[in-house]
Chain A
Amino acid sequence: MERRDLLKMIAAATGLAFVGGEAWAAGVKTTSASKALFGAGDIMLLDEIAETILPRTETPGAKDAACGAQMAVMVQDCYDAKQQALFVAGLAALQASCKQQYQRDFLQLTAAERTALLTQLDKDASARNAAIASNDSTNVSNRKGDASIEPHYFTLLKQLSIFVFFTSKVGATEVLRYVAVPGRYDGAMPYKKGDKAWAT
C-alpha cells in the first residue's frame, strides 16, 4: 500500500488517529517553545502511567524504555497549544481522580489500584472516542476524528505510551523483532502463535 494511505489508516490502538499527527485542532497556535511543560515529577508520573499500560513482563516494560521522558518531549514539541492544554489538564484530572478515590497520589497507589484506575479511564475514553467515530463518515481519511470534539485525555496518554514504547530501541529490539538489513524477502515465512511481530 502506498505510504501516504498507510499513514492515514494508522489508528494507534485507540480507535482514534494519532493526536499530534494531523490536527484535530488545525490552525491553533503553538505555545512558546521555551516554556517547559513538564518537570522531573511529571516525568516520573508519565513513566508510571506508561508502565501501567505496558508493564514489564517477560520482556521489558515502558519504564525500561524510558517512556516518560520521551512522552514529555513529544507533548512539548509535537502537540499544538490546544493539545498540550488537554494533556496537562488531563494529568491534573487523573491525579484528582486518585485523590477522590484513594486519597493518595497516583505514584502512591499499588499496582492493582493503578490498573483499576486506568482501566476505568480507558473505558471512559473508549466511550468518548466511539461518539467521535460515530460522527464520522466511513471515509478513512476522516478517521482522524471530528475536529469539533475533544478526545478524552486518556486517549492521548495511551497513544503516546504505545507509540513511544514500540518506537524505542528497547521496545523495537527486545520486545518486538528487529533486523536492520534483512538482505532478502520471504513473503510466506512460517509463523506460529507467540512469535513476535517485526518492529519495522
Chain B
Amino acid sequence: MTTAQNHYDAIVVGSGISGGWAAKELTEKGLKVLLLERGRNIEHIKDYTNAMKEAWDYPHRDRPTEQMKQDYPVLKRDYPLNESTFGMWANEKDSPYTEKKRFDWYRGYHMGGRSLLWGRQSYRFNERDFTANLEEGVAVDWPIRYADLAPWYDYVERFAGISGNRDGLDVLPDGQYLPAFELNIVEKDVAARIKKAFGGSRQLICGRTANITQPKPEQNRVNCQYRAKCWLGCPFGAYFSTQSSTLPVAMKTGNLTVRPFSIVTQVLYDKDKKRARGVEVLDSETNQTVEFTSKIIFLNASAFNSTWILMNSATDVWEGGLGSSSNALGRNVMDHHLGVGAYGEVEGYLDKYHFGRRPTGFYVPRFRNWGGDKRDYLRGFGYQGSASRENWRRDVAELAIGADLKAALTEPGHWTIGMGGFGEMLPHHDNRIFLDPKVKDKWGLPVLAMDVEMKANELRMRKDMMQDAVEFFEAAGVKNVHGYNGDYAPGMGIHEMGTARMGRDPKTSVLNANNQVWDAPNVFVTDGACMTSASCVNPSLTYMALTARAANFAVEALKKGEL
C-alpha cells in the first residue's frame, strides 16, 4: 500500500537523543523526513505533568507500590521505579525480553525516548579511546579517529548546550562549553588537596553536563533554575532533550512528519539494488501494517532495538537478518559497569551550606592505564560524585524519639562526600543478544534474549575502582572512608551499546566508517548499536556527534547520486 503520501526522502526510526539529531540534521539540509516513534507523543512542557510536583503531591510520596513492583520486575531492581517517572519507562508486560543471564534493560518507549530521562553528563571520547582496540588487539579497530569526530563534537556541543570547564586534560578533551556549574566549597577543597596529593596525575573537576547555564533564546530555552528535577521534563527547557532542542528545530523547517505509535518491524530490502527501499510499520494502536518508502533510513531505535530491526530484516537473503553476514550483529554488547566506589565524612565547614540544587556533581577523569600507569587489566574508569550535608535521612542513633530527635533532623548534618565509578567494558564476541525463538510481545513480535556477563577484565578493574576511591578520599583527608563494591548487572549503567559495530571490514563489522550498513549502504545506524568500544565516559554526546556526521555524509552522498 505504498502511495505518494508514504514516500519520504528519509525515514528516521526512533526519537531519542540520536534520532532527534538525525531528524534535525536531515530536515535542515532540505530532506523531507518521516520520524517514527513506537510510543506515545509527549509534548514539550505541556505534557511534563509531574515537573512541578514534590513528594507530597504523590499518593506514596514518590515511592513504588507493591503493584508497581509486580508490574515492573526489571525496573524495580534499581532507582528508576518511582511515582514521578512512572509511565516513562517501557511497559514490561507488553514488551518482555528474555534474560539468559540477568540483564537490566531500561527503555523509554515514548517521544523523546531516554533523552527526557538521561543523566546528561557529556564527555568526549579521547584519542586513545579510538585506537585502544587496535593497539591492544581487542575486537576490531574503530574505522574513525578522534580527529574525524572532533569537529562534530564542536558542532553538537554548541547546539545542545554543554556546561563545563576547559580543564586541559588529554584524557578528557575539552569542548565548546557554556560556563560550568560550580563545585561547592567542600568539593573545591577536596579538589585542591587531590591536586597536591597526586601531583596533578589525578583530578577532581566539575561535571560537564547538558544543562545550560546561559539562556538559548534561539531555542526558547531558559538557563537552569537549580531545581534538579530534570528527569521529570524541564519546563524551562534547561537540559538537552529531543523535545527541548532538536525536535522544535526540525519542525520549524516544515520538512518533518512525526508518527507516534509506530513500531518498525523491518527494513524493506531490495535484493536486486542491494538497497533498502523503506520500512514496515506496525501501528501499535490499530495493529495495522503500513509501508513507508524513502531514499535513506536512519535507525536510532536505541542500541538493542536498532539491532532487533536489522535481525528481522532481509531474512530471505540472510537468515540472521540485515548485517548478519558480518557475524557481528547482536555481538559485543557493552555497558558501563558501576555500583562501586567510596564515601566518607568531611570534617568542618559547619558554617557553610548550599543554596539551590545543581544538575551535576563532580567528575574524576580516568587515571588508570594512562600516562605511565600500567595495571593488570585494560582500559580504565572515571568517577562521578558530590559532597553535601546530610539531611533528615541520616542515622542519628544516639537520639531515640521526641523533640530532640526532631530538632536534630531539622538541621543539616555533617558534610559527606561520595563517588561511584563508571568502568569501561570490553567488547566480547560472546556477550550477545539474539531473537528468542519462543517468546513474543503484545503484538506477536519476537523478543530479544540477553546473554551478557562481566568478564575477567571488568572484574579485575572493579577492585581498583573501589580501592582507588578509598585512597583518593583518604589522600584528601576525608574521614571514616568506606569503599563499596555492590551489585551490578549488565544494563544497569543504562549505557547499553554495541551489537552493530562500526569497523573497517564487512566480514567483522556491521557498519562502515560513515555508519552505513555494509550490506545496505542507504541504511545508517547511529545510536549506541554502532559503538566499537565503550570508553568509560558517558556515551550520548558521542552518539550525537556520530549522528550529525553521518547525516552530513548521507546528504552529500545523496546529492552526488551515490545512495
Contacts and interface: CB of A to CB of B under 8 A. Distances in A.
Interface in B416-468: 417-420
Interface residues of A, number: 77
Contacts of B119: 2
A44 interface: no
B61 A79 contact: no
Interface string A148-182: 00000000001000111011110010011011111
Contact of B418 (A9, A163, A192): A9
B467 to A, nearest CB: 13
A196 B484 contact: no
Contact of A119 (B182, B187, B400): B400
Interface stretch (B41-49, B64-72, B89-97, B513-521): B64-72
Interface string A60-81: 0100000000100110011110
Contacts of A168: 56
B514 to A, nearest CB: 35
Contact of B63 (A8, A57, A74, A126): A74
Given A183-B356, A188-B352, A139 B79 contact: no
B67 A187 contact: no
A186 B354 contact: yes
Interface residues of B, number: 75
B395 A30 contact: no
Nearest to A57: B403
Given A172-B54, A187-B187, A73 B60 contact: yes
Contact of A195 (B187, B357, B407, B411): B411
Interface of B is mostly: loop
A167 B62 CA distance: 9
Contacts of A181: 225-227
Closest 5 CB pairs of A and B: A141-B486, A187-B184, A182-B356, A185-B356, A191-B353
Given A73-B60, A119-B401, A140-B484, 12 more contacts: A4-B78, A4-B492, A53-B401, A53-B405, A115-B401, A126-B397, A138-B482, A138-B483, A180-B52, A183-B356, A189-B355, A197-B389
17 contacts: A13-B396, A53-B401, A53-B405, A78-B66, A126-B397, A140-B482, A162-B392, A167-B62, A180-B52, A184-B356, A185-B181, A185-B182, A187-B182, A194-B411, A196-B410, A197-B391, A197-B409
Interface of A: 1-15, 20-21, 30, 33, 52-55, 57, 59, 61, 70, 73-74, 77-80, 115, 118-119, 122-123, 126, 138-142, 158, 162-164, 166-169, 172, 175-176, 178-198, 200
